[in-house]
Amino acid sequence: MKAIRMTGVGDVHVLKYSDEPDPRPGENEVLIDVRAAGVNFMDIGIRRGMKGGAYKPTILGVEGAGRVIEIGPGVVDFRPGDRVSWVYVASSYAERVVANVNSLVKIPDHIDDLTAAAVMMQGLTASHFATDFYPVRQDDLALVHAGAGGLGLILTQLIKLRGGNVISRVSSSDKIGAAVAAGADHVIVDTEGSFAEEAIRLSGGVGVDVVFDGSGPKTFQGSLAALRPSGTLCWFGPVLGGPGPIEIMSLPKSVKIGYAVFSDHIPTPTLLRRHTNQLFEWIGEGRLNVTIGGQYPLSEAARAHADMENRATIGKLLLIP
């Protein structure tokens, strides 16, 4: 089979489109023909060596959708032909992947493979942020960074579903339309981290209730400044780095800061399937739209990484084997 293997740590040139042996399923595992693999910032972080430890050659990717073609010993709930999606299954940038059944969700008939692949990590992350980490309330005002990205677009929609209002921060004017289409009430175009004053103005001078910030150290102080008294900063996304040491007694306005990790939203197969099926239900009802901003042949994974790093994309990026 073909796959994308890292040949070292570094820029996109370390990604090699290579021939690999077909994997075989073991106990409680299935072999899947991959129809689409999701591209995520965590993949870029692994490629850059940001996960720590010594480098080991690896096939990238953790997310996707496809069809079961073989089952291993002990598998009873899946059979060849089942359409499935997953998140946190290693080596997903490939034509075939082996997955433990506990990582899989069956795709309902009304959801196509590409949508299923596109909604897993970013949809579940948005679900965690808006329903679990900070359960958005009616009339809450949220500031969403990277509002035209795959996560930002889904998060905006979930905030609106819960009755909240959204200020979306985007990096260029050509992304305003996507943010507005997702439901953003206001859009700030900013690349320098100087958004706080405008966010406070749009809030009527009091500050926002919650900020969802995965944009790295450049935006941290502005996100704090944009909060109302006792507001909440949801910090996420390790690829761009953390804010550095924080002197807790220097925090303004009794704000609350937390680091949100979406895997805490799906610690069991039951919760994985419950939350994913809720996303599928909203999609089927037309209440949630998943924007696929780019489809790349598997062989062009390096180009997909480069486009994502350059902030040149809107919505979710997929690799198609």
For the residues of 234-300, what is the DSSP string, one character each?
Answer: EE--GGG-------GGG-STT-EEEE--GGGG-SSHHHHHHHHHHHHHHHHTTS----EEEEEEGGG
Residue 8 lies inside a defined structural domain of this protein: yes
Mean pLDDT of 205-218: 95
pLDDT digits (tens, 9 = 90+) for 107-116: 999 999 999 9
CATH code at 290?
3.90.180.10
**pLDDT above 70 covers what percent of the chain?**
98
> Is the domain of 72 the same as that of 100?
yes
Q: Is 315 helix (H, G, I), strand (E, B) or coil?
A: strand
Question: Residue 56 — very low, low, confident or very high, per pLDDT cuts 50/70/90?
Answer: low
The predicted pLDDT at position 244 comes to: 87
Look at residue 200 and tell me whether its pLDDT is greater than 80: yes
The predicted pLDDT at position 311 comes to: 84
Q: Are 149 and 317 in contact (CB under 8 A)?
A: no
CATH code at 211?
3.40.50.720
Look at the chain and report how many structural domains it folds into: 2
> Is the domain of 94 the same as that of 144?
no
> Is the domain of 147 the same as that of 77?
no
Name the residue range of residue 105's domain: 2-120+266-320
> Is the domain of 241 the same as that of 168?
yes
Residue type, 234: C
Alpha carbons 180 and 187: distance in angstroms, whole number: 7
> Is the domain of 255 the same as that of 284?
no
Rg of the Cα atoms in the chain: 20
> Is the domain of 248 the same as that of 153?
yes
> Is the domain of 209 the same as that of 274?
no
**pLDDT above 90 covers what percent of the chain?**
89
Do strands 63-71 and 186-189 pair parallel, antiparallel, or not at all (unpaired)?
unpaired
> Is the domain of 174 the same as that of 62?
no
Alpha carbons 320 and 313: distance in angstroms, whole number: 17
Alpha carbons 145 and 218: distance in angstroms, whole number: 12
Q: Both tokens of residue 308?
A: 């994502």
